[in-house]
Each structure stands twice: as structure tokens, then as C-alpha cells.
Structure 1
Amino acid sequence: MLSCRTLYKANGFTDDDFKRPVIGICDSFSDIVPGHNNLRQISQEVKNGIYRAGGTPVEFGCIAVCDGVCTTHEGANYSLPSRDIVADGIEIMARAHKLDGLVLVGSCDKTVPGMLMAAARLDIPSIFIAGGCMLGGPAFGEKRKSDSTSAQEAQGMYQTGKISYEELMNISDACCPTTGSCQHMATANSMCIIAEALGMSIPGSAMIPAVYNERLRAAFKTGETIVEMVLKGLTARDIITPASIRNTIKLMMAVGGSTNCIIHICAIAHEIGLSTDQVMGWFEEYGQSVPLIAKINPASYEYDAEDFYKAGGVPAVQKEIDSIIEKGCMTVTGKMAEENYNEYINLYGKNEEVITSLEKPFSTLAGLAVMHGNIAPDTAVAKPAAISEEVRVFKGRAVCFDSEEAANQAIEEQKIKAGDVVVIRYVGPKGAPGMPEMFKPMKLLYGQGLNKCTALITDGRFSGTNNGCFVGHISPEAAASGPIALIEDGDEITIDVINRELILHVSDEELAKRKDNWHYQPKELTGYLKRYARDVLSADKGAILK
């Protein structure tokens, strides 16, 4: 212990500092990720709150991959795999330095679930604070506020002559006017909502925009709260429980969260000893009983993350679904979840165009759907909240691609026509490897005006901002000899989101013949991706590492 203090003193600490709880602050600041650009400022306010409450803060960093920056090149293969590096790195830092408590400061896609996985694994007092969402840009396209994906949509419009090159570049300059996580109900904001819904963030904090001064006050309060948690002995597994996970799944169905949330909630649940099959069962159950009561881009063409915050955010939705919430779930405040959301005061008032009620839902279909069929014998995932009613049942002819790059090229060359079902395979956890997002193909189809007359299915993932008719996470994946590998150009496919079916209209006998002739050569890999491809399980298992 003396040598430990001696080394801390080299950093300017004093003996008095060690009479107080030593609280680690892990933030994922970088100059690369817009959702993390403000995290130094957030962490400083967390430190101030820890000092105020009588603790000693010690800060360290972790990696953070931005899906938007890494998409459409080999970097996309590293996004999902980064989640486990985040979790492992935080575990190592917290255990190696015997921290009394932990504040997790992040915002984006794989960083937030990695942080929550680490908290569940460590089971020490832990709390999460988000960096906040980005504000929307000027109106674009269908007159909604532009967002970080509008440039890709504009690219499709430019390719079909709908806008000029100057208009394309103008929207790329204006659609991200501030720092923060992207403006829609994509994975970043969905995961911050999940952290609050689990009880791991202070009430109402998930969706405060990055540039609001309320974000700084929430950070300060987070610092105070972690010290209180340490003194009470309130740990992560007191909060992350089967009941809080079930409540969180219900909330995700109600708000139309990102499809990626299914993978990440399974992975978080695995850290507390739950089987992923059990968690997928909950997704299926609540996907058939919880309606959509919140509409945020991409489910809405008018309202974004800032509007969701002003409408009351997570507490407002929790109040509306109170009748189906399991009561008695502990939170970081030391109060039960229902106490928190009933006490929360929204200074902006209700907006029933953003958050409605169970009695008057925007759709009786849940925001997420787990699907089955002969293409997906295990499971597949769709997001009804982002699928227009006219294409929730879609029948078309397959156009097959064995990589995202090949699909993008065909779409950019305008080879995809109305009635096509674009099939992108060998992009699953093992096949890609790393299960990259098929974000760009969907955005190009949208920009070309094909989002309501084509569909896309894949064993890869999607961005939470995608809309159109799409199904991802098809399991088993093509690289694991899943039936998606056997689809041929021209095959008829039915996507029935309402009945949660994904059907290839080819006989079992014909599929058996195709399988006998199927050959697969895994990619030659090195480094982390080689180890990842060896150890990763399928999407329906949360893409966890065995």
C-alpha cells in the first residue's frame, strides 16, 4: 500500500486523498468521434462533483470507434469487435488499480455497451454519463431536419440528378452543426437510453443535448452520486438485473431503438449470467405486445433526439408504460426506477407528437421485431418503426452480393430496380469479420427513391438511422453455412414484418442440392480480427466471445 501511495504522489496526490474513496473516471475522448469530442469537459464536471462529495477522482481513457467514420472501408470490420476491447480494458484498469468506484463517460455505438458490460462484470459501484446528442441541421429532403446521414442520402440524390454537386456539398457542410452523438434513434442514442433505463444513469440525463448547460449539471450530479454509491455499497449488479433488463427491452420496443441494441443487451445480460437465448425470448415476447409510442428520426421525418429530450425523454416514456413496468428495480440514485421517473420534472412540457401513450400508440407493432423463416432458422432482426407501412410485407426477387462493396457499386451504377431484394452476405461476425453496418447501401437506395420499392436483407448489421424495408442479423450467417449463403439471383423472397417471417421460396430439396455444392473459403486474417473471427459467436448470441 505504501508503494501504491508513493506512485500516486508522483502525480501530485496527497495522503489526504487516500482517506477518501478513489473513483475512476473512464472516458473515451478523441478528436475523431464527434460524440466524444466534448468528453474532457464532461469528465471535468464529474471530477468537480466527486470532489464536492468527498471523493478522489482518477481519470483514464479507452478507445472509441465511430461507425460513421469507419463505414465503407476495412475500418468497418473493427467497430463491433471494439466493444469487447472496451469492456476488457476497463476491467483491467479497474481491477489492476483496485478502484473503489467507476464513472463511465461515453456516447457512441460500441463504446457504451462495452462500458456497461465492464460495469456488470466488475460489480463495483458504477455509473454512466453520456456526452449528449448533436443538434439537427437545416431542413433537407422530406423537409425534416438534416442529420449526420443526410450526406449519404444526398449522394444518392446527386447520382440520380435530383440535386446538384453544390447542393450535395452544402448539406455535407451543414448537417452536423454541433458536437454530440448523431441526432437520430441510432445505436449511440439508443445505448445511452438503455443505460438510463437500466438504472445506470441519473434520471433524465440520457438525451440532454451535448451543447446544453444541463449536460454539465448532469455530469456534476453524476460525480456526486458515485461517491454516495460507494459509501452505500451500491454496485452494478444491484442495478443490472433480469427485471431491469426486461424493463429496458420493453422501453426499446416503445421507442423504436436501434436493431444493434438486441446484440448489446444480450451481451450485457451475459455478463450477469443470463443466457442469450432467454434474452432473445424476451425480445420476441415484448415485440408482440409492446406498441410504438415514441417517434424519433428515422421513425419520424420531423422529430429528432433533441425533440425527444424536450418531450421528456426516458422518464416520460417510462411513465407512459408504467403499467407494464416491473416495479422495485434499484437505480444509481438509491431509489427505485418508478420513484425516479415519477419525480422527474420536464421543464419543456409534453409533446404528444413525439411521445404518446399505450392507449393511442403510433403503431401497434413494436419498434423492433425478431423474425424467423427458412432464411433465418435461428433469428433475424427488423425495425418496424423505420419501415413504411406499404413495405412491411414485401415480395421480390433476389439480387445477391458477397460483400458490401459489390452491393454499393451496383446501387451507385443504378443496377438495382423496383422489386429487387438486395442480399448482402458474408458480412456477419465471422464472415466479414466483425459484422459491419450496411448503412451506406440503404442510404443510397433512399436517396435514389427506391426505399419503398426495394428491400435489403443481410447477415450484417444496420445503422439505427436506416429506413426502408430491411432485415439484418440473419443467423446462422453465410460463413457458418446459413441458408442465406444458398440464395441465388432471381429467387423469390418474402419479408413479412407484421408476422415476423423471412421466407425464401425455394424447396428444401433444391436448398439441399445447393448446400452440397456450396464452398466457403474464410479470409486470410491477421491480428485482432483473426482472434475475433475464431472466438465470436453468432448475432443471435449477442456476438459475444466464447
Structure 2
Amino acid sequence: MRSHIATKGIARAPHRSLFKAMGYTDREISQPLIGIANSANELIPGHMHLDHIVKAVKSGISMAGGTPMEFSTIGVCDGIAMNHKGMHYSLASRELIADSIEVTATAHPFDAIVMVPNCDKIIPGMLMAAARLNIPAIFISGGPMLAGKHPDNKNQQIDLVTVFEAVGAVQSGKMTEQQLFAIENAACPTCGSCAGMFTANSMNCLTEAIGMALPGNGTIPEPMSERIRLAKQTGIQIMQLLDKAITPDKILTKEAFMNALVVDMALGCSTNTVLHLKALAHEAHVDIDLNLINEVSRKTPHLCSLSPGGQDRIEDLNFAGGIPAVMKELFDHAMLNTDCLTATGKTVAQNLETVVKKDQQVIRPIENPYHSEGGLAVLFGNLAKEGCVVKQSAVLDEMLQHQGPARVFDCEEDATQAIVDNQINKGDVIVIRYEGPAGGPGMREMLTPTSSIAGMGLDDTVALITDGRFSGGTKGASIGHISPEAAEGGTIAIIQENDQIKIDIPAKTIELLVSENEIADRFSRWKKPEPKIKTGYMARYAAMVSSAGNGAIFKDIL
């Protein structure tokens, strides 16, 4: 066992003495040591209850003959970090999480590891660490929160995005502050990851689809006891993975990534999944080209209409059979690689043998999809030579093709202020630049401006493009991850006010309608701006991070 380098032999008596200082018995020290990366804290609604999940995981590990050893990781709540300096640090926390788990699990050589995340950057950070360590690993999330009920209509479900959009409604005079306060109190009724197919739930679902978690990981709601039982089963199962020597490299294959992309398109997941799957693929030594996403999207119908693009919630998806039921529908139409090994110790085909599809309204059949193409699209053109991403399933039909004058802002705050001050006109294309991985730095999520656009009733006439990124809660013609970013000399850096921008999502193109000579002339006068943050981690991050087209991973300097 890997842990023997720290526990076996005469020379390890000092090491065992330190284990005993923590209360471990000789029997516990001699058993397989199973690390548990616990991201519990009192900062994030999705993480405040993870100690209860970890307690159940420990029970499962102990029942199966292992010794659980818990340690902590950090986490950032994107909703609370939104629209202020804190959001610079959110995406950047992903690398810190991956590095910290690598450090801990190498300095303390576990035989296997259980990852317990629940929210946006914590999940991919842990996935990246699992691929990097390549010891038997399995995931169990904290589960999604339940949707809230509208204070004026108990039949209308609401969530965090409802609150953001209500802010825009107040600012445009369509709602009173008292109505906003009532929605604020009702939107997030339980702990858990926010109740829509936002980034956290997208990543928890894709962790299940790619094979790194047991069925139910992505959709069983946080309040349900079934989640605790799943955590115990996860603790038991990590011992089986250890016994069978099933390591992440046997699960995270090119075919498994293809399966995850197919499920991503069928669900209509967050645009952030492109960043995180690219980053995970890099750690797993698998090549995922952005063009591949369009290829998969063209072949994969959009089967689920989940908030923010639709009315159904994660709890509805769970009742309909969850990710296994989605995969069963895709499996029945030969759209998945069924030989992929998963954390169950079985193949995808074996996992789906007894799965029942329970609700064809929540998970539509292939023959009757919500859209003929998948949820995401990658656009290319002179404005995004290395690509940009849009959640096309959440775009109104009238905005799938759009041309309009650019309204240019060099930061999110200026754009948001212009929106709430009614300075944006119908037909405009809002451009927010210098918000990329390096230029931001940290590629901030921009739920505030996109929600303001929706709340003010402009989402059927106004587009927004940025080298930053969007919350999974964003809907509308919101196009992010424009690469190269402005700070690295991308074309977005030289857009001027009232330049015409043409967006054609069905054709997968985005163009600045300015001549190449004019673009070259503008670049001859362009100067890279000073960094926004010049000290500390984010200054180092800005110097090390690569483009969004590469998953915003650190540059290879070795």
C-alpha cells in the first residue's frame, strides 16, 4: 500500500508515534489510509453542511475496513463574491485547491482519496487534483438546494437568479423594494448548491457522467436522507476501487470526456464547464479541442430545460431519474461510449441496465428535444480567433442572429452602471473587456450585468460579449471567454464605440465588421494596460495563467 512508506518498518516508529498522538490505534495505522478532502466552511451555502456528508463517508470507509483521514480545502461562494473585488479570486481558487490537495496527499501518502466538494471552483479543482495524484479516487457532493417558492405565487419556483433579476426590475421601476425583499427571503430555502443548472450543479452532474462519482451524485437534493446514504456508499466504494486498483487514469479517458460532453449538451450546462473540462483534460493528458464541442453539440439534442434557461429545477431532474435517466436516453440511441469504466467499478452499460426514465417532460426523448442541438456553442471569427462560448439553449430565438453597435466598457462595473442608468439601447452589443484570466485578473463572472439586462426586459434585443465569463445562472445572448483576451492583444482590445458586431450562433461565428487594415492600424496604437492587481497571489496568477481557450490553466513553464 502507498501509505506504508509512512507507516511500516522500524524506521517509521517516529511516524507511528505521531499517528498515535492523534489517537490512531495500531490497527487503524495498519489499515489502508483513506484521505477525505473536505471543503466544508461557514462561507458557502453549498458547503456549510459538508461535515455531515463527511461523517457518513467516514462511516462507510470504516465499515469497509479503511481508516478515514480528513483534511480541509478552501472555497469561494461565487454568488457572495459577485460584482466586487472578491470575484477576481474565484476562478483562481481552482488552482489553489488542486495544488493544496496534491501537497497534502503527497506529504501524507494516502492509499486512496474521497473528494467532498459542492460548488463552482471546488469541484473542478478537486477533479484536477484527482487526475494529478492518480490514486483511487471518488467524489460525493453535498447536493443541490431545493428551489424556493415565489412569495406571491406558491406554484412558481424561484432561485438565486430570480433575486439578481429582481434587482434589475427594481432599478427599472418594474418592482418595489418590498417585493424584492420578499423574493430575497424566499429564493434560497435550504443549504446546498444553488437550485438550477448553474456551474456547481453542472459540474456535479458531469462528475457523475464522466464516471468519477456514484449515480445520484449530481441531483439528489441536499435535504434528502438519500444523500447521506449515498455518502456512506461512497465511503464503502472507495475501498472497492482501492482493492481493484481502479485509478483516475482508467476512468478519465478520451471516451469518458466525450460522454461528459454529450451529457453536457443534453442538459444545457453552464458555459464554465468548457473551462473546467479543458483544465481537467489537461491534467488527465487528454486532448479536448474547442472545435470538438461544436461537433458534439451538433449531434446531441438538448433534452432538459433547466433553470436558468428553462422552468425545471435539479430536484425535478432527480425525480425524473437524474443523470442515469439522461444517459439511458442517450445510450438507447447509441450516443455514448458504453465501455467506459466508472467509479461503480462497472462500465457505463452495466450501470444503465436497470435505469428507468420516469418523466418525459423533464427529460425529453431524442425524437422530441427542446432544441435539435446541444446547450453550448463555441463561436469563432476575427473577434475570437481562439474561440468564445455561449449557452445557446438559453438564448431567445430572436437573438440567435444579431448585429448591432458596440457599447464598449473596460470593466464590469462601468457596464453595469450604464445598464442600470438606462444608457443601453435596444440592439446594442455590450462589450466588457480586460476581464479575462490575465487581464481581470481572474476572469470574473458577470451575473450582475446579465441579470440586469434580463430584469430590465432587454434580453430580447441586447447582446453582451466579454473576455470574462458568466455565471451558470446567466441566460440570453451572453457570449464569454473571448480568446485571445484584451490584455493579451485580442481583437476585443481595439473595438471602438459604435463599431458593428455581427453574431451568428447557428453559424458559430462572431465578427467585428471593421477592415483588417483598420484593425492593424488600431493595434499599432494600442498599449497593454497596467495590471489591475500588482501584489499577492492574483499578481502571480495573472503572470502564470493561460487563455480561456486553454481552460485558464497555468502556462507550462517546465
Q: Does TM, normalized by the shorter one, top 0.5? A: yes
- Contact residue 151 and residue 182 of structure 2 kept, 8 A: no
1:328 to 304, 323, 339: 339
TM-score normalised per structure 2? 0.95
Report the counterpart of residue 128 of structure 1 in structure 2. Answer: 139
Alignment length (residue pairs): 540
Helix, strand or coil: the match of 1:179?
coil
Report the counterpart of residue 374 of structure 2 in structure 1. Answer: 366
Task: Identify the range of structure 1 (356-365 vs 180-189) with the bigger mean alpha-carbon deviation.
Answer: 356-365
- Structure 2 Cα separation of the partners of residues 359 and 144 of structure 1: 29
Report the counterpart of residue 254 of structure 2 in structure 1. Answer: 242
Report the counterpart of residue 529 of structure 2 in structure 1. Answer: 521
Report the counterpart of residue 195 of structure 1 in structure 2. Answer: 207
Residue 284 of structure 1, CA deviation: 2.5
- Structure 2 Cα separation of the partners of residues 503 and 87 of structure 1: 36
- Contact residue 253 and residue 286 of structure 2 kept, 8 A: no
1:148 equivalenced with 2:157 (yes/no): no
1:294 to 304, 307, 329: 304
Helix, strand or coil: the match of 2:242?
helix
Report the counterpart of residue 110 of structure 1 in structure 2. Answer: 121
Helix, strand or coil: the match of 2:206?
helix
Report the counterpart of residue 458 of structure 1 in structure 2. Answer: 466
- Structure 1 Cα separation of the partners of residues 289 and 196 of structure 2: 25
Helix, strand or coil: the match of 1:288?
helix
Helix, strand or coil: the match of 1:4?
helix
Counterpart residue identity of residue 239, structure 1 = I
Report the counterpart of residue 177 of structure 2 in structure 1. Answer: 165
The 5 A counterparts of 1:304-453 are: 304-322=313-331, 323-344=334-355, 350-453=358-461
- Contact residue 434 and residue 529 of structure 1 kept, 8 A: yes
The 5 A counterparts of 1:35-50 are: 35-50=46-61
- Contact residue 386 and residue 467 of structure 1 kept, 8 A: yes
- Structure 2 Cα separation of the partners of residues 360 and 17 of structure 1: 55
- Residue identity over aligned pairs, in percent, reads 44
Report the counterpart of residue 538 of structure 1 in structure 2. Answer: 547
Report the counterpart of residue 188 of structure 2 in structure 1. Answer: 176
- Structure 2 Cα separation of the partners of residues 374 and 146 of structure 1: 39
- Structure 2 Cα separation of the partners of residues 2 and 501 of structure 1: 64
Deviations 1:451-484 (A, max 9, x none): 1111100000011111111110000000011001
- Structure 2 Cα separation of the partners of residues 147 and 377 of structure 1: 36
Deviations 1:196-231 (A, max 9, x none): 011110112221111111100000000000011111
Deviations 1:330-378 (A, max 9, x none): 1111100121123345xxx622221112222110121000110111011
Report the counterpart of residue 303 of structure 1 in structure 2. Answer: 312
- Contact residue 172 and residue 456 of structure 2 kept, 8 A: yes
Report the counterpart of residue 221 of structure 1 in structure 2. Answer: 233
Deviations 1:96-125 (A, max 9, x none): 111011000011000000000000010100
The 5 A counterparts of 1:260-271 are: 260-271=272-283
- Structure 2 Cα separation of the partners of residues 54 and 171 of structure 1: 48
- Structure 1 Cα separation of the partners of residues 259 and 482 of structure 2: 25
Residue 140 of structure 1, CA deviation: 7.3
Residue 35 of structure 1, CA deviation: 0.6
Report the CA distance shift for 1:46/1:287 in structure 2 as closer, same or farther (over 3 A): same
Task: Identify the range of structure 1 (47-56 vs 524-533) with the bigger mean alpha-carbon deviation.
Answer: 524-533
Residue 393 of structure 1, CA deviation: 0.8
Residue 141 of structure 1, CA deviation: 9.9
RMSD: 1.3
Counterpart residue identity of residue 15, structure 1 = D
Counterpart residue identity of residue 390, structure 2 = A
- Structure 1 Cα separation of the partners of residues 127 and 230 of structure 2: 19
Report the CA distance shift for 1:511/1:484 in structure 2 as closer, same or farther (over 3 A): same
Counterpart residue identity of residue 150, structure 2 = A
The 5 A counterparts of 1:453-492 are: 453-492=461-500
Runs of 4+ in 1 over 4 A off after TM superposition: 140-144
- Contact residue 144 and residue 303 of structure 1 kept, 8 A: no
Counterpart residue identity of residue 501, structure 1 = T
Report the CA distance shift for 1:144/1:453 in structure 2 as closer, same or farther (over 3 A): farther
- Structure 2 Cα separation of the partners of residues 26 and 344 of structure 1: 30
- Structure 1 Cα separation of the partners of residues 262 and 152 of structure 2: 32
Structure 1: tracts of 5 or more residues without a match? none
Task: Identify the range of structure 1 (141-150 vs 75-84) with the bigger mean alpha-carbon deviation.
Answer: 141-150
Report the counterpart of residue 517 of structure 2 in structure 1. Answer: 509
- Structure 2 Cα separation of the partners of residues 313 and 232 of structure 1: 27
Helix, strand or coil: the match of 1:490?
coil
Counterpart residue identity of residue 299, structure 2 = S
- Contact residue 191 and residue 222 of structure 2 kept, 8 A: yes
Helix, strand or coil: the match of 1:431?
coil
Report the counterpart of residue 94 of structure 1 in structure 2. Answer: 105
Counterpart residue identity of residue 280, structure 1 = L
Report the counterpart of residue 8 of structure 2 in structure 1. Answer: none
Residue 263 of structure 1, CA deviation: 0.7
Deviations 1:218-269 (A, max 9, x none): 0000000001111121111111111101110111011111100001001101
Helix, strand or coil: the match of 1:394?
strand
- Structure 2 Cα separation of the partners of residues 51 and 144 of structure 1: 44
- Contact residue 420 and residue 454 of structure 1 kept, 8 A: yes
Counterpart residue identity of residue 291, structure 1 = P
- Structure 2 Cα separation of the partners of residues 378 and 232 of structure 1: 41
Counterpart residue identity of residue 347, structure 2 = M
Helix, strand or coil: the match of 2:408?
strand
- Contact residue 164 and residue 447 of structure 2 kept, 8 A: no
Report the counterpart of residue 208 of structure 1 in structure 2. Answer: 220
- Structure 1 Cα separation of the partners of residues 45 and 349 of structure 2: 33
- Structure 2 Cα separation of the partners of residues 140 and 489 of structure 1: 42
Task: Identify the range of structure 1 (167-176 vs 334-343) with the bigger mean alpha-carbon deviation.
Answer: 334-343
- Structure 1 Cα separation of the partners of residues 359 and 35 of structure 2: 38
- Structure 2 Cα separation of the partners of residues 287 and 489 of structure 1: 33
- Structure 2 Cα separation of the partners of residues 304 and 261 of structure 1: 18
